[in-house]
């Protein structure tokens, strides 16, 4: 999925997830987000079983606020609904891969 969804899960839904997941906060018009797309896709290609949820973020968006998101894109890496690590404006696919290894 290349677009950020306006429909976001609730924090309670996220915390109920099992297994590894990545919450990807950003917007479709964000240049940083568009620049990170190929890096994120490259890193995720080696981990097809990891849930990747792209959430449109902004003022008043409760999920992003509950995770303290301030810059886009912010990738929150979760295992069983709990944050393990995060990357803000990831610079390369290798950094994303290392974070994915922590939750795989």
| Catalytic entry in 8, 22, 33, 63 | 33
Q: Output phi, psi for 69, to 5 deg.
A: -70, 130
Q: Tell me, yes or no, if 98 is annotated catalytic.
A: no
Q: Output phi, psi for 83, to 5 deg.
A: -65, 130
- Stretch 12-30: mean pLDDT: 98
The string of pLDDT tens digits covering residues 32-85 is 999 999 999 999 999 999 999 999 999 999 999 999 999 999 999 999 999 999
CB neighbours of residue 48 within 10 Å? 7
Which domains does the chain show, CATH number per domain? 11-103 (3.40.30.10)
Give the separation between CA 10 and CA 60, rounded to whole angstroms: 13
* The model's pTM: 0.96
Q: Tell me, yes or no, if 33 is annotated catalytic.
A: yes
Give the separation between CA 9 and CA 100, rounded to whole angstroms: 21
pLDDT class of 2 with cuts at 50, 70, 90:
confident
| Catalytic entry in 30, 36, 43, 103 | 30
């Amino acid at each position: 999925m290349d677009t950020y969804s306006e429909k976001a899960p609730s924090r309670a839904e996220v915390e109920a997830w099992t297994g590894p997941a990545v919450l990807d906060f950003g917007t479709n018009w964000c240049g940083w987000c568009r620049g990170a797309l190929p890096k994120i896709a490259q890193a995720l290609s080696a981990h097809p079983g990891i849930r990747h949820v792209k959430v449109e973020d902004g003022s008043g968006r409760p999920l992003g606020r509950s995770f303290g998101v301030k810059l886009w894109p912010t990738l929150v890496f979760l295992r069983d609904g709990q944050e393990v690590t995060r990357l803000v404006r990831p610079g390369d696919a290798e950094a994303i891969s290392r974070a994915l290894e922590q939750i795989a």
